[in-house]
Amino acid sequence: MFSTEFLDLPPLLGASGSVTLPGSKSISNRVLLLAALCEGTTTIHDLLDSDDTRVMLAALRTLGCGVQENGSTVEITGLGGRLGTAPAKLFMGNAGTAMRPLTAALAVLGGDFELSGVPRMHERPIGDLVDALRQLGCHIDYLGQDGFPPLRIGKPNLKLDAPIQVRGDVSSQFLTALLMALPLVATKDIVIEVVGELISRPYIEITLNLLARFGVQVRRDGWQRFTIPAGCKLQSPKVLHVEADASSASYFIALGAISMGVRGQNGIKIQGVGADSIQGDIRFIDAAKQMGARIESGPNWLEVRRAAWPLKAIDLDCNHIPDAAMTLAVMALYADGTTTLRNIASWRVKETDRIAAMATELRKLGATVVEGADFIRVTPPTSAQDWRAASIHTYDDHRIAMCFSLAVFNPAGLPVRIEDPKCVAKTFPDYFETLFSVAQASATHIPVVCVDGPTASGKGTLAAVVAEKLGYHFLDSGSLYRITGLAATRAGIALEVANQEAIVALLRSLPIRFEGSHILLDGEDVSDAIRTEEAGMNASRVSAFPLVRGALVDFQRNFRQLPGLVADGRDMGTIIFPNAPLKVFLTASATCRAERRYKQLISKGIPAILADLRADLEARDARDSSRPVAPLKPAEDAQLLDNSDLTVDSSVEIVLDWWQSKQPFKSA
Ligand SMILES: Nc1ncnc2c1ncn2[C@@H]1O[C@H](COP(=O)(O)OP(=O)(O)O)[C@@H](O)[C@H]1O
Ligand SMILES: Nc1ccn([C@H]2C[C@H](O)[C@@H](COP(=O)(O)OP(=O)(O)O)O2)c(=O)n1
């Protein structure tokens, strides 16, 4: 997951390949609650690991459920419809799929509970559910503003005779909450009547489908009246697999529809969900087809290709696919006219006011947008010149972050900045990694920050922090020369230019692996062995051999991967990445560098003598700078930074400012 302040996405050429998507949020949280309410143990496979499911799991633990986690498999030992008597405070974050159903279940079972969430949760309405539960005799008080969380739940005095009325036109989650809770107390038939037009019906279908898996057959008369049969009982299905999230699939369906194939392949294959999914958002495929996607499906998979281009503008009632429809609004940027998405009033009460948010962000990209109470109308930028590079504000809304990533196929070749990219954790923590695994950008569009300079100038430290702040990969090119020196020495090859062919042959056979900050040579962790001063000196020796340098060029260039790279060394800016958009040449006085190295070694418990270190580094500087191949020198377009009197933090800040000044969008 990217936990950076922002993530800059370079313009993409195309995408192809296969992706496996995380489990559905709607199914995961429903199944967790049902498993918690029934008797016995339920093993749930492929459960989504996200903010919302973690909120639910934490609440279930607090309530006394047994929870055993093992990767994406979770075992829940249910409460059998009985709650402990201890008062409990439950924090629901911003998870509507946890807040609403738990409120209903706890209210009918009764106890002493407080349910709260993040500030946005306290702005999301729950009054219609509370009204319905109060008709049943449940005891619920508002602790803040009437109609909104936080809530306190007490003991009920249940009255089950009269039909319970619930509004269906604000959120279908209210009805879902009642449907899942009432089997706990169905000593007689309980009737629920929906007042107003029921929105988001496919989510109710998921609820009914899963209740059936837990042994409860709800009778339904149209979409207005639901009967929980007397004597029904939630029964564990023992084992259950969660489908991949159909709303998450929408981004990859759109990706297949928008992008050209790459690497001789065509299309995006999506594993984990097929066209016969029980999730309503799977109907997104019909809308995508209308816009021009070619989609094939089989058991638990979809394959999507671009067919019509530009995409075809559509006018669609999106009530049945409220979440996935946001993706259509971004696909509309690539359409041949104006797209109108209707009947989406529920967008206004989601993680943020999604109609307003989509309109604002689409306009930043150059689109013309008209918004109404329950619709949005999107006209793409007229021509490539009318597209704008935009920093997309994401409103703590995972779907905004994910759907706007698709703007990277813009014909103007502009990058897109996604602010607060970690908001995708709500449903799809590895969304961007998954996107990058199938996407391709032209190598020149993948940004590289080069940090070159003499030993102990702080290159490694600076480069690693800058990489972390930008969410980029990190290449410590010196480690490659250090490994080469170490391996040659171990193999008994003298580090002399006459032996350079033998050293290169050895280098080509070396199984080198980078695992985070660890470097493995043929399975052995050599991270410490290559850091000694002797290894540094040996590295400096082998690095002067032209054949060794040549053998490492492609290896280093292959680190230029999405979303970007920070590389430190001696020739990053001059030889390896000559077209890098930012090159930093970092220096510090010899005294200063010798002192830094001294402190570094002593702090690691390695004995050192300051005067020797200084002599060694001056010798190394002299060799690195005077060698005929790729000598240590600043690239012509490098920005010089002498950090003798700067802290690490201020050096990082300076480099990030230089980076920002080269971006086409304003800072986040
Ligand atoms: N700007 C700085 N101010 C003070 N100390 C620094 C600075 N940059 C790096 N250091 C320290 O100097 C030592 C050497 O830095 P390092 O990043 O290993 O240098 P290089 O990769 O250039 O050899 C480290 O202990 C590091 O914490
Ligand atoms: N891109 C590079 C990186 C390192 N080298 C050589 C020259 C250096 O003296 C050695 C060791 O580099 P490294 O960056 O690990 O050394 P320091 O941390 O700066 O002491 O490798 C190089 O020639 N080209």
Q: Which of 144, 70, 151 is nearest to 105 (CA)?
A: 151
Q: Which of 65, 55, 10, 1 is nearest to 28 (CA)?
A: 55
With both helix axes pointing from N to C terminus, report the angle between 546-557 and 477-490 in degrees, rounded to the nearest 10.
130
Ligand in nearest proximity to the CA of 597: 1
Ligand 1 atom at minimal distance to the Cα of residue 646: 1
Give dist(CA 258, CA 34) in Å, integer. Answer: 39
Amino acid at 631: P
Q: Distance, CA 523 to ligand 2 centroid (Å)? A: 23
Q: Distance, CA 572 to ligand 2 centroid (Å)? A: 11
**Can 323 be counted among the known catalytic residues?**
yes
Q: Distance, CA 442 to ligand 2 centroid (Å)? A: 28
Query: Given pLDDT bands bounded at 50, 70 and 90, which one contains residue 552?
Result: very high
Give dist(CA 360, CA 371) in Å, integer. Answer: 10
Which helix (H) or strand (E) is 525 found in, with range?
Answer: strand 524-525
How much of the chain, in percent, has pLDDT values that exceed 70?
Answer: 100
Q: What is the pLDDT of residue 62?
A: 95
Amino acid at 229: P
Other C-beta atoms lying within 10 Å of the C-beta of residue 443: 13
Q: Distance, CA 522 to ligand 1 centroid (Å)? A: 29
Give the start-to-end residue ranges of the domains of the chain.
6-22+244-442, 26-241, 446-661
Over residues 7-37, the pLDDT tens digits come to 999 999 999 999 999 899 889 999 999 999 9
> In the chain, what's the furthest Cα-to-Cα distance?
96
Q: Distance, CA 661 to ligand 2 centroid (Å)? A: 29
Over residues 115-133, the pLDDT tens digits come to 999 999 999 999 999 999 9
Residue nearest to atom 23 of ligand 2 (CA): 543
- Check pocket membership of 596 for ligand 1, CB cut-off 6 A: yes
- Check pocket membership of 570 for ligand 2, CB cut-off 6 A: yes
Angle at alpha carbon of residue 323, lines to 320 and 326, rounded to 5°: 110
Mean pLDDT for 509-516 is 87
Ligand in nearest proximity to the CA of 647: 1
Residue carrying structure tokens 């230029």? 560
Q: What is the pLDDT of residue 70?
A: 93
CATH 3.40.50.300, applies to 446-661 = yes
Ligand 2 atom at minimal distance to the Cα of residue 455: 19
Over residues 298-316, the pLDDT tens digits come to 888 999 999 999 999 999 9
Over residues 615-656, the pLDDT tens digits come to 999 998 998 888 888 888 999 999 999 999 999 999 999 999
Q: What is the pLDDT of residue 193?
A: 95
Ligand 2 atom at minimal distance to the Cα of residue 481: 21
Q: Distance, CA 456 to ligand 1 centroid (Å)? A: 6
Ligand in nearest proximity to the CA of 585: 1
Give dist(CA 559, CA 512) in Å, integer. Answer: 14
With both helix axes pointing from N to C terminus, report the angle between 533-542 and 477-490 in degrees, rounded to the nearest 10.
90
Over residues 331-341, the pLDDT tens digits come to 999 999 999 99
Secondary structure (3-state) at 575: helix
Burial class (CB in 10 A: 0-12, 13-18, 19+), 578: middle
- Residues tagged in the binding site annotation for ATP: 453-461
Provide the token pair at 408.
């990277």
Over residues 56-91, the pLDDT tens digits come to 999 999 999 999 999 989 999 999 988 877 899 999
CA 348 to chain centre: 23
Residue nearest to atom 3 of ligand 1 (CA): 647
Ligand in nearest proximity to the CA of 463: 1
Give dist(CA 325, CA 317) in Å, integer. Answer: 10
More confident call, 544 vs 262: 544
- Check pocket membership of 457 for ligand 1, CB cut-off 6 A: yes
pTM for the model:
0.86
Q: Which of 58, 180, 201 is nearest to 117 (CA)?
A: 58
Give dist(CA 477, CA 554) in Å, integer. Answer: 12
Q: What is the pLDDT of residue 529?
A: 92
Give dist(CA 565, CA 203) in Å, integer. Answer: 42
Query: Given pLDDT bands bounded at 50, 70 and 90, which one contains residue 666?
Result: low
More confident call, 219 vs 523: 219
Fold equal for 6-22+244-442 and 26-241: yes
Provide the token pair at 355.
């109609």
Residue carrying structure tokens 């998405």? 341
Cβ neighbours for 424, distance < 8 A, ≥ 6 positions apart: 1, 398, 401, 402, 431, 432
Q: What is the mean pLDDT of the chain?
A: 94
Fold entry, domain 6-22+244-442: UDP-n-acetylglucosamine1-carboxyvinyl-transferase; Chain (3.65.10)
Mean pLDDT for 351-375 is 96
- Residues tagged in the binding site annotation for 3-phosphoshikimate: 25-26, 30, 171-173, 200, 323, 350
Over residues 568-585, the pLDDT tens digits come to 999 999 999 999 999 999
Residue nearest to atom 17 of ligand 2 (CA): 455
Catalytic residue among 8, 51, 281, 323: 323
Residue carrying structure tokens 């992706």? 19
- Check pocket membership of 596 for ligand 2, CB cut-off 6 A: no
- Residues tagged in the binding site annotation: 25-26, 30, 96, 124, 171-173, 200, 323, 350, 354, 399, 426, 453-461
Mutate-to-test residue for ligand 2 from 583, 624, 625, 633, highest number of ligand atoms within 8 A of CB: 624
With both helix axes pointing from N to C terminus, report the angle between 173-181 and 127-135 in degrees, rounded to the nearest 10.
30
Other C-beta atoms lying within 10 Å of the C-beta of residue 396: 17
CA 616 to chain centre: 45
Other C-beta atoms lying within 10 Å of the C-beta of residue 218: 19
* β-pairing verdict for 17-20 and 41-45: unpaired
Residue spans of alpha helices (H) in 422-578: 431-438, 459-470, 477-490, 500-508, 533-542, 546-557
Q: Distance, CA 452 to ligand 2 centroid (Å)? A: 9
Provide the token pair at 349.
């009460």
Give dist(CA 507, CA 521) in Å, integer. Answer: 11
Helices (H) and strands (E) in the chain, counts: 20, 33
CA 298 to chain centre: 27
Q: Is the pLDDT of residue 668 over 50?
A: no
Mean pLDDT for 256-274 is 90
Mean pLDDT for 516-525 is 89
Q: What is the pLDDT of residue 207?
A: 96
Give dist(CA 107, CA 109) in Å, integer. Answer: 6
Give dist(CA 603, CA 616) in Å, integer. Answer: 19
CATH 3.65.10.10, applies to 26-241 = yes
Give dist(CA 196, CA 199) in Å, integer. Answer: 9
Q: How far is residue 388 from each of residues 381, 517, 665, measured CA to CA in Å?
A: 9, 37, 9
Over residues 464-474, the pLDDT tens digits come to 999 999 999 99
- Check pocket membership of 541 for ligand 2, CB cut-off 6 A: no
Over residues 130-178, the pLDDT tens digits come to 999 999 999 999 999 999 999 999 999 999 999 999 988 888 889 999 9
